[in-house]
Structure 1
Amino acid sequence: MAAARRARAGDSRAGFRRAADEQSPAVPQGLIRAARKSGQLNLAGRGLGEVPQHVWRINLDTPEEAHQNLSFGAADRWWEQTDLTKLILASNQLQCLSEDIRLLPALTVLDVHDNQLTSLPSALGQLENLQKLDVSHNKLKSIPEELLQLSHLKSLLLQHNELSHLPDGFGQLVSLEELDLSNNHLTDIPTGFALLINLVRLNLACNQLKNLPADISAMKSLRQLDCTKNYLETVPSELATMASLEQLYLRKNKLRSLPELPSCKLLKELHAGENQIEILNAENLKHLNSLSVLELRDNKIKSVPEEITLLQKLERLDLANNDISRLPYTLGNLSQLKFLALEGNPLRTIRRDLLQKGTQELLKYLRSRIQDDTTSPSEEPPVTAMTLPSESRINTHAITTLKLLEYSEKQAAVIPDDVFDAVRSNPVTSVNFSKNQLPAVPPRYFCRDHSLHAAFLSVLFLSILCWSWSGFFFPSRGYLHLSSVRVPTHTDITGISRSEEQKQKMVQKKQSLSACVQITAHLCLSRTLLLEGNPFRTPRAAILAKGTAAVLEYLRSRIPT
C-alpha cells in the first residue's frame, strides 16, 4: 500500500523498489514439481543458509497449482506422485538442520556434506528407512545417540569433522557396511565396534589413535582397513585372523615391525610406509601369497629376506628411502612386478645409473646375478667342458685374452689360492678384487715369483670394505705393493705421559708423511687409479671425482718439502 501511495504521489523509484522486494524463491517451484515425480531433490551449491520450510513439507502440502482452477494431465497428478527418498543439501552454508526433517520418513539418502553444521537434530533417529548419511566436511563435535537407532543404515560418512569420541552403543548400527571417521580427533575406539560384523570398509585415518581394540578382529566381513597417520606403535595380533581383509593401510604411524598376518590369505595391498620398521622378517611375508602391492618406503629396513620371492603376484614394491645395502638377486624372478622403487638406499651391488633405467632393466640385471647370489665361495659349481667362462669361479678366458684377473662381488673374506694359481705364467695387467670383505691385501699378491708381477699393472681395483691398513708402500720394483701400517689407538696411549703421547703422534705423522711420499712417487707410473667404495676422509670426494690426474696432483701437493 505504501508503495502504491508513493507511486500515486509521483515517486519515480517506486517500480524499482517493488521489483527488489519481490525476491525469487531459493528453491524454484520447477524443482519441487520434478522432485514429486522422481522422489529426488538436489539443492547442492545454492548458497542456502537454511532449508526452506516447504522442502521439509514437500510430502504434506498440496502444490500451489492445486489451489487454482486448472485441469491436470496424467503427468501432473500430484496426488499420485512419490514421496521424497533422496535429499542432497551439500555445499551450502547450513549451520543446523530443522527437527522437521522427521516429516521425510521415506528418505533413504541424506547428503549434507560441506556445510557448517555443528550438530545434528535428534529427529534423524526417526528416519528408519535411511541407508546413507553423509555429514562429512562439517564442524560436528558429537553425534546424537538417536542416530544409533538407524538400523538400516549402510553408509555413514563422518570424515573431516571435530569428533573426539563416539557413543558406546555404536555397535547397534548392525547393517553398516561403510564407515569413514577419518580426519577427526578420536583417541580411542569404543568396544561396541566388534558388533559391526557387516562392515566392509573402515577408515580411521588421520586421528590420534594409539592402539586398536583387539575385538576389531570380529569384523569378519572387513575388506579395507585404513589406519594411516595415527600414533600406533603395535597392531593387535588378532588382526591376523581377519580372513576377508584385502587392503591394509598403516602408513605414517610408529610401527617398528610389520604385523604377522598368517590368515590374511586374500590381502592384496599392504601399505606401511613412513614408520620406524627396522627388520623385515620372513614370517611377515611368507603367508601373503595374494599380495600385489607392498609399500614400505621411508622406514629403517636394513635387509630384504629371500622369502620376498614367494610373493609371485606382487606388482608394486616400494622400498625407497630405507637402509638397504643389498638385495636378493632372486627378486628378479618376480614375473608380475611392474614397479620397483629403490632410490634413497645405500645399495652396494647395484649401480646408480642402473636404478635410473627403470624396473624392467633392474629386474633383468638382478636375474643375471642370481648365479652369484646363490653360489658361496666354498661351494662353487664344478667346472666342466660345458661351463662358460663367465660361470666359472675363475675366468681363465679373461686372464689369457684380457690380461685381467677378476674375483669381484663374491663377499669373500679371502681370495682362494686357485685364483692365483690360474694366472700361472700368463702376465696380467689388471686385477679386480672389488666388492668383497677382505680384511687385508691377499698375501700371495706379494709373492716375488708370482706372474702378477711379470708385467706392469695398469689398473688395480681394490674396493675393500673393511681394511685396517692406512698407508701404501711401493718397493722399487715395477709392481704395486700394499702393506699394513698400524695406527696407535686411544687404548694404546692410555696411561702414558703427555710428552710420550705427543711423541706417539709425531711418529704416526712421520709414518703417514712417508707413506704419502712413496704413494705419490710410485703412483706416477699408474695410468688409472680407482679408489671408489672406500671410506676416505682425505682426499675429499670432490677430488676423487675429478679422476686420476687430480688425485695424483693432490697427493703431490701434500708432500712436505
Structure 2
Amino acid sequence: MSGFRRADKVDSLAGFRTQKTEPTVPYGLLKAARKSGQLNLSGRGLTEVPQNVYRLNIDTPEEAQQNVSFGASDRWWEQTDLTKLLLSSNQLTQLSDDIRLLPGLTTLDLHDNQLSSLPSALGELQELQQLRLSHNQLTSLPAELCSLKNLHSLTIQQNLLESLPEELGQLKNLTELDLSNNHLTCLPSSLGCLTSLQKLNLSQNKLSCLPDSLAQLKHVKLLDCSRNQLTDIPASLSEMLALEQLYLRHNKLRLLPKLPAPALKELYVGNNQIEQLETEQLACLAAISLLELRDNKINSLPEQITLLSTLTRLDLTNNDIATLPASLSLLPNLKVLLLEGNPLRGIRRDLLTKGTNELLKYLRGRIKEEPERADEGHTAMTLPSQASVNVHNIKSLKLLSYSEKQAAVIPDELFDAVADQGVTTADFSKNQLTSIPPRLLELHSSLSDINLGFNRLTCCSPDICKLLQLTHIDLRNNQLSDLPSEMKNLTKLRSIILNYNRFKSFPEVLYQIESLETVLLGNNQVGGVDPSRLMKLVHLSTLDLSNNDLLNIPPELGLCSSLRCLSLEGNPFRTPRAAIVAKGTDAVLKYLRGRIPT
C-alpha cells in the first residue's frame, strides 16, 4: 500500500514536471519560423523569452529525431535564419545576452513590455534594421546599441530616459528616431552626426534648449519638439535644408522663430507665449503653407502678413486679436483662416461662422470701401422684384450675392444682370430655397464658389454637378441626406461643407473626388467611415466628423497621413478616450496607428 502511495506520488510529480517544462511557445510556431524567418510572439503574456526561441537556429529540431520525410514541406535541414522577431505587448522585464544567438535579425520588436535595461549583447545584432523599444521602463541605453551600423529605425518613445549616450552619433544609417515621451533634459552634440535622419521626434521631454549640431541634419523633413521647455530656437536650424514640418507646440516661446529654412511648409507654434508677430520673422517663411499660432497671446496682425504669399492655412484660434488688417484678404492662396476665441471688434459674429471665403470677401470689401461709398448711388439699382444688384460686387469682385432675403426663389433679374460678367462666386445663403436655382447653370464656365447654406434643401440636384469649375460648395444647415453620384465629375472641388444636415453615412461620392482638401460633416448622424477609401484622398487635410453617431473609430484612420485637422468630439465611441481626443489631431492619429495589429 505504501508502495502504491509512493508510485502515486512519483507519477503526480512527473506530471507536474511535464507541465513545467512544456514549451510556452507552440512547437508549430517554431517550426514555421524556421521556414519563414519570422516569429510573432506578441501578446502572449511572456515574462521571459523561452530559451528555444534564442536557440531556434542552433538546436536540432524535433523532427530530425523522428522519421525523416523527404517531402518539400518537411525538409527541416533547409531552415532560414530568423530575421524578424516580434515580442511586443508581453511582460518581459529583461532580455537575455542569448539574443546574440540570433545574429540574422533585421527587425526586433520589444515595445509595450516592462524592460528597465537592455543587454550589451544587443550590439552584436549587426544586421538589425528596425528596433522598437517604446512603452517600456528604460532609464538608459547601452553604448553597444550605437554600434548597429545598419539600423534604420529606432523608436524609444514612452520610456524613462534621462540622457542618451554620446555614441548615438555612430548610427549613420538611421532615418527615423523617436525619443518622445521621455525625461530628457539635454541632447548629445553627436546627434548632428545622424546625417541620414529624415524624421526626428523629441516631443514630451524636458528640453530647455536644442544643440546647434541639429543644423547638420540636412535630410530631416520632420522635426517634432512639442511639449518641452524651449524658450528659444537656434537660428542654425535654418540650415536644415530639407525641413518641411516643424512642431514647436506647448513650449515657452515668446517670439515666432526666425527660420529661413527654404523648404519649411508647415510650422506649428500653438500653445506658447507669443505676443506679437515681427515682420522680420514673417519674411523668413518663404515657402510656408500652414502656420499654426493658436492659443498664444497675439494681440494684432501686421500689415506685412501679405509676405506669406504661399500660405493656405492660418490658425489664430484663442488669441487676443481685436482687429484684422484688410491686407489679410490679399493673401492669394489662403483657403482656411481660423479665428475663434478672439475678441474681434467690428466684425459680426455671423460673418465669422460663414467661413474663410466670406470673411476674406468682407476684408476685400473694406479695401474698396472708400471708392465704393463715393459713387454708391450708381453702383446699386433697385429692380421691380426689389432685388438689389450690387454692380460693383459683380464687376470688381465677380460676386453675385442674394443672401438673408428669406426668398423661396432667386429673381431672374439677378441672373440677367450677371450675364457675361464671369461671376466666380454666388452666395444664396439664408433663404428658403427648396431646390438649387436652375439658372445657376448659366454661370457654368466661371462659377467656382457657391454658398447655399441655411436653406431648406432636401436633395442636391445633379445639375450642380455640371458646374465643372467649382472648387468650394457650402451646403450647411439644410435637410440633405445624400449627394448625387454625378458629383464625382467635379474634379476641381477642394472643399465641401455639409454641417447640420441629415447624413447617416459618409457620402459615397466624396470617396471618389480625389481633389478634396476639406470635408466638414459635423452635426449629422454619420455612423461610420471607410479609412481605406479615405486614404485615396491624398490631398485631404481637414475632416470634421464631430457630433455624429460614430460608435467606433477604425485604427486604420491613423494611416490617413495627409490629415492635419481631424475633429471627432461629440461622438459616442469609447476609444480613443476623451483625454486623447482633447490633445488634438496628431495625438489621435498616433493613438490609432498604435492600435493597428502588427
TM-score, L = length of structure 1 = 0.63
2:122 maps to 1:124: yes
Deviation at 1:306, TM superposition (A): 3.0
2:297 maps to 1:306: no
Structure 1 residue aligned with 2:379? 388
CA distance in 2, matches of 1:86, 1:385: 76
Closer/same/farther in 2, CA of residues 382 and 151 from structure 1, 3 Å limit: same
Structure 1 residue aligned with 2:90? 92
Instruction: Describe how 1:394-473 pairs up with structure 2 within 5 A.
Output: none
Instruction: Describe how 1:137-536 pairs up with structure 2 within 5 A.
Output: 137-262=135-260, 264-334=261-331, 336-372=333-369, 388=379
- Of 32, 35, 56, which residue of structure 1 is paired with 2:33? 35
Deviation at 1:293, TM superposition (A): 1.6
Letter in 2 for 1:30: G
Q: Alignment partner of 2:159: what SS?
A: coil
* CA offsets 1:258-316 (integer angstroms, 9 cap, x no match): 11122x22112100011110111222223424322211011111111233334344332
Closer/same/farther in 2, CA of residues 385 and 91 from structure 1, 3 Å limit: closer
* CA offsets 1:206-256 (integer angstroms, 9 cap, x no match): 111111111211111111111101111111111122221000011111101
CA distance in 2, matches of 1:355, 1:244: 36
CA distance in 1, matches of 2:138, 2:228: 20
* CA offsets 1:50-75 (integer angstroms, 9 cap, x no match): 01001001111121011012313112
* CA offsets 1:318-340 (integer angstroms, 9 cap, x no match): 10111111112233344544432
Structure 2 residue aligned with 1:103? 101
Structure 2 residue aligned with 1:47? 45
CA distance in 2, matches of 1:98, 1:5: 43
CA contact (8 A) 2:69 2:75 kept: no
Closer/same/farther in 2, CA of residues 76 and 345 from structure 1, 3 Å limit: same
Structure 1 residue aligned with 2:450? none
CA contact (8 A) 2:292 2:315 kept: yes
Closer/same/farther in 2, CA of residues 6 and 236 from structure 1, 3 Å limit: same
Deviation at 1:25, TM superposition (A): 2.9
Closer/same/farther in 2, CA of residues 365 and 54 from structure 1, 3 Å limit: same
Letter in 2 for 1:210: S
Q: Alignment partner of 1:186: what SS?
A: coil
Letter in 2 for 1:74: A
CA contact (8 A) 2:220 2:242 kept: yes
Deviation at 1:387, TM superposition (A): 6.3
CA distance in 1, matches of 2:151, 2:195: 14
Deviation at 1:20, TM superposition (A): 9.8
Letter in 2 for 1:258: L
Closer/same/farther in 2, CA of residues 16 and 98 from structure 1, 3 Å limit: closer
Deviation at 1:77, TM superposition (A): 1.4
Letter in 2 for 1:388: T
CA distance in 1, matches of 2:155, 2:5: 55
Letter in 1 for 2:269: A
CA distance in 1, matches of 2:357, 2:31: 60
Closer/same/farther in 2, CA of residues 357 and 383 from structure 1, 3 Å limit: closer
Q: Alignment partner of 2:177: what SS?
A: strand
Letter in 2 for 1:154: H
CA distance in 2, matches of 1:182, 1:105: 29
CA distance in 2, matches of 1:335, 1:62: 71
Letter in 2 for 1:348: R
CA distance in 1, matches of 2:197, 2:295: 31
Structure 1 residue aligned with 2:473? none
Deviation at 1:317, TM superposition (A): 1.5
Letter in 2 for 1:339: V
Letter in 2 for 1:85: T
Q: How many residues align?
A: 380
Letter in 2 for 1:300: K
Largest Rg, 1 or 2: 1
Q: Which has the higher contact order (CA 8 A, sep 6+)?
A: 1
CA distance in 1, matches of 2:164, 2:7: 65
Aligned-residue sequence identity (percent) comes to 58
CA distance in 1, matches of 2:377, 2:44: 81
CA distance in 2, matches of 1:146, 1:319: 47
* CA offsets 1:505-527 (integer angstroms, 9 cap, x no match): xxxxxxxxxxxxxxxxxxxxxxx
Deviation at 1:140, TM superposition (A): 0.4
CA contact (8 A) 2:63 2:76 kept: no
Letter in 2 for 1:103: L
CA distance in 1, matches of 2:196, 2:378: 61
CA contact (8 A) 2:23 2:50 kept: no
Letter in 1 for 2:312: E
Letter in 2 for 1:318: D
